[in-house]
Structure 1
Amino acid sequence: MLPRQIAPDLDDIDRTLLELLQEDADQNHADMAARVGLSAAGVHKRLKRLRQEGYVRRLTAQLDRSRLGLDLLCFLKITFRSNLQPENLVDLQRAIRALPEVLECYTLTGSSDAILKVAVTDHIALRDFLSRLSLQQQVIERAETCIALEEFKEGGALPLRDPA
């Protein structure tokens, strides 16, 4: 069985435009046009279509955590009291939406049911976060905190071309 192709309905120009957006979403259409061999109007039209078709969900700025004083990056491996019951997911979603320190949250296979990526200023803020998390939900049986010591790659771009 052959692996699925990455975004088979996109051509090379679409892929390049998406790669350029991932590099720097703030660059202007004229600069992008020069790199893909289209007019600025052509780039605008393609980007509008890619947004309308859902390839681009939103454009955001990637801020520097450390510069903002959010020096402690943690991952919380969560185990639910009764596994992945639908009501557990609803309770977890409600709890994490009320906690701005949670950058990302995923449900998992394996020994943990979910993982949260959390940014806080220091160990005191982490302690306070964990207290608020435990107060805002009833579904978590156990949370194992892993503190990131060093970042090697953050906010990586999605691969838009097949690796072959």
Structure 2
Amino acid sequence: MLALDQIDLALLTALTEHPRAGDLELSRLTKVARATVQSRLRRMTEAGVIADWDPTLDVAAAGFEVQAYVTLEISQGALDEVSRDLEAIPQVLEAYVTTGSYDVLCRVATRSHPELQATLVRIDQSSSVVRSTSVMVLSVLVPPRVLPLLGSGETVPSRRAPAYRKG
């Protein structure tokens, strides 16, 4: 686990607000040296805090406006099989193993209600799915976000060395 300080949070904020910015621009935006930007980004990437450099894609804007969350109750010990079955369905955007009444939570997206129905039927055709329940997404209330969480706690003091020392 990597402890993030105020410089890290400033870099992550600048990178989120300006995802195409290079190191020099991030240096200007955060008012830290370019070498600091490069080393901090490398450190956060190596630690997995920055998971990838992929663009954020909006499936609704791409024509897949019908979205739903689907919970699955699966057969005991069938997680690998269900994983393979779900990965074979392009409309399944993500799936998580969960606790509680259901074993798996999926998010699916389709172009139409008939396509959603066909996707739900295809999910149910997995021999390991015992029961499924779906909930339609009407609108996005809070979009995916991370920065408020990272900035909510105490930050570690900056590791930047003082510009001068009292002697």
TM over 0.5: yes
2:144 matched to which residue of 1? 155
Q: Of the candidates 53, 70, 73, which is equivalent to residue 76 of structure 1?
A: 70
SS at match of 2:45: helix
Letter aligned with residue 14 of structure 2 = L
2:85 matched to which residue of 1? 95
Per-residue deviation at 1:18?
2.2
Taking structure 2 as the reference length, what is the TM-score of the superposition? 0.80
Gap change, CA 1:162 and 1:150, over 3 Å in 2 = closer
1:121 matched to which residue of 2? 111
Letter aligned with residue 117 of structure 2 = R
Structure 1 segments unaligned to the other structure (5+ residues) = 1-6
Once the two structures are aligned, what percentage of the paired residues are identical?
Answer: 25
SS at match of 2:131: strand
Instruction: Tell me whether 109-118 or 20-29 shows the greater mean CA deviation.
Output: 20-29
Letter aligned with residue 97 of structure 1 = E
Q: Of the candidates 32, 50, 60, which is equivalent to residue 26 of structure 2?
A: 32
2:130 matched to which residue of 1? 141
Cα distance in 2 for partners of 1:57, 1:40 equals 21
Whether the aligned pair in 1 keeps the contact of 2:124 and 2:132 (CA below 8 Å) is no
1:57 matched to which residue of 2? 51
Taking structure 1 as the reference length, what is the TM-score of the superposition? 0.81
Question: Which aligned runs of 4 or more in structure 1 are off by greater than 3 angstroms?
Answer: none
**What do residues 91-137 of structure 1 show as CA deviations (whole Å, max 9, x unaligned)?**
111112111211221122222211101111111111221232233x2
Q: Alignment length, in residue pairs?
A: 153
Gap change, CA 1:48 and 1:163, over 3 Å in 2 = closer
Gap change, CA 1:47 and 1:147, over 3 Å in 2 = same
User: Is 1:48 matched up with 2:60?
Assistant: no
Structure 2 segments unaligned to the other structure (5+ residues) = 155-167
SS at match of 1:142: strand
Cα distance in 2 for partners of 1:68, 1:76 equals 21
